[in-house]
């Protein structure tokens, strides 16, 4: 059995993340960015960051990172909603 390469893992993470995006699609035309490139770049960054953390700390670091991203997303959506409502 062959172990997956870093590139295989990047592609797997990007594919899973793109599938999750289907619930709340991003307007990539408005951003002027290529979605596949963006997901691949972010997946590669996640792997690089996780490899820099001791293996026994990775789950808690991953959960803390997800929490931070969810809070940032919540705040950005709230700000956008206020801007759209003219407040």
pLDDT computed for residue 24 by the predictor? 77
* Residue ranges making up the domain that contains 63: 54-87
Q: Do 41 and 81 belong to one domain?
A: no
Q: Do 25 and 11 belong to one domain?
A: yes
Q: How confident is the model at residue 11 (pLDDT cuts 50, 70, 90)?
A: very high
CB-CB contact of 36 with 48 (8 Å)? no
Per-residue confidence (pLDDT) for residue 87, from 0 to 100: 65
Name the pTM for this structure.
0.77
User: 48 and 14 share a domain?
Assistant: yes
Summarize pLDDT for 13-60 with one digit per residue, the tens.
999 988 887 777 889 999 999 999 999 999 999 999 999 999 999 999
User: What number of helices (H) and strands (E) belong to the chain?
Assistant: 4, 0
Dihedral angle, C-alpha 69, 75, 78, 80, nearest 10 ° = -80
pLDDT above 90 (res 10): yes
**Nearest partner of 14 among 45, 53, 55, judged by Cα:** 45
């Amino acid at each position: 059995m062959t172990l997956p390469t870093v590139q295989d893992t990047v592609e797997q993470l990007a594919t899973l993340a793109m599938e999750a995006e289907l619930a709340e699609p991003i307007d990539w035309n408005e951003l002027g960015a290529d979605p596949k490139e963006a997901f691949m770049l972010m997946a590669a960054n996640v792997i690089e960051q996780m490899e820099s953390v001791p293996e026994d700390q990775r789950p808690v670091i991953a959960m803390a990172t997800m929490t931070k991203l969810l809070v940032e997303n919540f705040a950005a959506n709230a700000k956008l909603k206020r801007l759209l409502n003219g407040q």
